[in-house]
Structure 1
Amino acid sequence: MDSASSPPSTGRGVLIVRNAASGTAVLRADPAGTFAERLPEAVVHELADGEDLADVVDAAMESDAAPDVLGIYGGDGSVSRMAHLARRHGRPLLAMPGGTFNHFVRALGVDSVEAAIDAYQAGSTVAVGVAEATADDDEPVTVLNVVSVGAYPELIGERERRTSLGKWIGGVVATAAALRRAEPLTIVSEGRRARVWSVFVSVGRNDPERVATMQRQEAETGVLDVRVHHARGSKVRALASLAFGKRTAAVLRAVRLFPRDEDVERLVVRELDLRVRPEAGHPSVFVHDGELEERAAGGFRLRCVALPGALTVFAPPPAA
């Protein structure tokens, strides 16, 4: 954890982009008053429906008053996209929790907008390890928490097709549909072929008891923690493996619905290169930090690499 010279406490030179669509299922106080009171000179931009975050940031960086700090108020997907832009433009990231889960900022001890601003005004930063994920020959994307193929991306896809039903009901219907349609996919890595329910590629070492490693556990890291759920169990186990909480996983283990230990392979590596081949009729998709990415039918190549210390983030010092 570094303590840089304190930046202007008024927020001069800070661009904050708000994603109003993040975390709509969570009741949160509007941060506008906090921004106005504590960072009165910051530029606050509310992302309009259909407006692209990269366009907003690129325009700001090309202006006569280019920001020194890029701030984001939103969920993990929004924070991940802003982190990518912060790396591109060589700026520190001011990340504030405004989504449903906020996995990344919580891992850094930023549990509120106030905590993020406290760290900014104190000049307290951490060099955070990230991953870059590249699908086929596309430009790489910055990953803060996890990349996944298999059951979880298909579940997210089913849920997104049912947004009109609301988040809770849509999630229940999507889970039922995913359970009915679930089929293993084929992956090939370093000449090894396997039929799997899912692969999770976490940034940094993660809880060894989980398959779905959604929330990162450490800030400064240079490794990927990979969980491969081999397709030797039932469809029910495939969906049960997506339990994110320890308590839920413990209950599923007790009733013997959680994947067996011998069906989950763990790798700790710096790089991973996969060929992903879904079954006919199933989408070619992957998810990074909650963002669904669709590929051409028939499969794709996914490469992930760990990059230690690649992103500077304002965060409080660790607890003693």
Structure 2
Amino acid sequence: MLFINPTSGGGKAVRADLAARARARGIEVVTLGPDASLDELVEHAVSDGADGLGVAGGDGSLAVVATAAIAHGLPFVCLPAGTRNHFALDLGVDRRDLVGALEAFTDGVERRIDVGEVNGRLFLNNVSMGIYGDAVQHSEYRDAKLRTLAETVRAVLGPSGAASALQVIDERGRPYPSPAVLLVSNNLYALNRPLVTGTRHTLAGGQLGVVVLDQPHGPGPPAGRAWTADSVVVDALEPVHAGIDGEAITLQPPLRFLIRPAVLRVRISARHPGVSPSGRLTP
């Protein structure tokens, strides 16, 4: 069963005639309308006996379908019909080959990957918090490592909002109060050369990635750090405005993040790379 968002990515799926091409391969298709509940449609498809779930849409739609795939032990197919297709890139799907990605249903290679979770909600890419714009472009990020952190955040950040007074503690016990940017991701973004900015080496490393950029203060460069963890707790005095896989949401503190290793079965066309650009560059 393939769920298609016809408006995603400026109508990529419609221009490619994806629905007709999928049906020609024996794939059942549901095209989402403006008032459709994707959660309900997916559950209905599963109860009707769907043996695989795919989605052509943005990363937020992917997370909804992936949640159902995990719950029912079904394989999941990602078709790159969104605007930026960050998840498809890191999964190793060729973002230029939307129609070819359909081969995952009929001639695909299957493997298992991790997902992240915050307060019970699944995410495939990341959860971003804080005020991003000024911070990630600040001229004081001159140090190569800090500049790489800032470039990565700028490449993958979600919608911004007024920052709450966040606090996160790293694995050394060091607190980071009121950071300018806090990014928690499903596996760590590549931060060492060689890399492709805004990509992860792997989606099966079994760790959350955490990136913190402090508020710039004084003449020296602001602090920034990245680390990995099995779980992370972020506290705040008020509801937290966040971007989850690119969609704006408000979360109630404390925010409890965890990694769920190897829970999602994914299928990828045998003709596609099957590894992220940074993964291909890693020895």
TM-score, scaled to structure 2: 0.74
**Match for residue 269 of structure 1 among 229, 251, 263:** 229
1:217 shift after superposition:
3.4
1:55 aligns with 2:55: no
The one-letter amino acid paired with 1:53 is: L
- SS of the aligned residue for 2:261 comes to strand
Structure 1 residues 95 and 188 mapped into 2: Cα distance closer, same or farther (>3 Å)?
closer
CA distance in structure 2 between the partners assigned to 1:276 and 1:208 by the alignment: 27
Could you say what secondary structure the match of 2:102 adopts?
helix
- Report how far residue 74 of structure 1 moved: 0.6
Aligned residue in 2 for 1:19: 5
Mapping of residues 2-151 of structure 1, within 5 Å: 15-24=1-10, 28-37=15-24, 39=25, 41-63=26-48, 66-111=49-94, 112-134=97-119, 140-151=120-131
* 1:289 matches 2:259: no
RMSD: 3.2
- Matched with 2:145 is none
CA contact (8 A) 1:151 1:197 kept: yes
Of structures 1 and 2, the larger Rg is shown by: 1
Three-state SS of the structure 2 residue aligned to 1:91 is: coil
Which segments of 5 or more consecutive residues in structure 2 lack a partner in the other structure? 134-159
Partners of 1:57 and 1:184 lie apart in 2 by 34
* CA distance in 2: counterparts of 1:215 and 1:32, whole angstroms: 29
8 Å CA contact 1:146–1:214 kept in 2: the answer is no
Task: Tell me the secondary structure at the aligned position of residue 300 of structure 1.
Answer: coil
Give the % identical residues: 28
Deviations 1:18-66, CA, capped at 9 Å, x for gaps: 11232228695331232133x2x32211111121111001112223xx1
- Alpha-carbon displacement from aligned partner over 1:258-304 (angstroms, at most 9, x marks no partner): x94x51121211110111346xxxx7311111121124xxx621111
Q: Deviations over 1:131-153 (max 9, x none)?
A: 1111xxxxx11111111111259
For residue 305 of structure 1, give the secondary structure of its aligned residue in structure 2: strand
The one-letter code matched in structure 2 to 1:54 is D
Offset at 1:113? 2.7
Residue number in structure 2 paired with 1:186: 166
- 1:98 Cα deviation after fit: 0.7
Q: 1:191, 1:114 → 2: CA distance?
A: 48
Which whole-Å deviations, capped at 9, do the CAs of 1:172-192 have from their partners, x for residues lacking one? xxxxxx7xx966733144683
Report if the CA contact (8 A) 1:87-1:310 is conserved.
yes
The aligned counterpart of 2:187 is: 204
Equivalent in 301, 306, 310 of residue 254 of structure 2: 301
How many residues matched?
Answer: 240
8 Å Cα contact 1:148-1:200 kept in structure 2 = yes
Distance across 2 between alignment mates of 1:183 and 1:220: 31
8 Å contact from structure 1 (residues 202, 216) kept in 2: no
| Contact 2:86 2:125 survives alignment (8 Å) | yes
Question: Could you list the runs of 5+ residues in structure 1 that have no partner in the other structure?
Answer: 1-14, 135-139, 154-177, 235-258
Which residue pairs with 1:229 in the alignment? 213
Take 1:151 and 1:314, find their aligned partners in 2: how far apart are those partners?
Answer: 36
Measured in 2, the distance between the counterparts of 1:61 and 1:183 equals 39
Deviation at 1:318, TM superposition (A): 4.3
CA contact (8 A) 2:22 2:28 kept: no
Q: Using the alignment, how far apart are the partners of 1:308 and 1:188 within structure 2?
A: 22
> Closer, same or farther in 2 for the Cα pair 1:61/1:25, shift >3 Å?
closer
Q: SS at 1:267's partner residue? A: strand
Q: TM-score under structure 1 normalisation?
A: 0.66
Contact 1:199 1:226 in 2 (8 A): yes
Q: CA deviation at 1:219?
A: 2.6
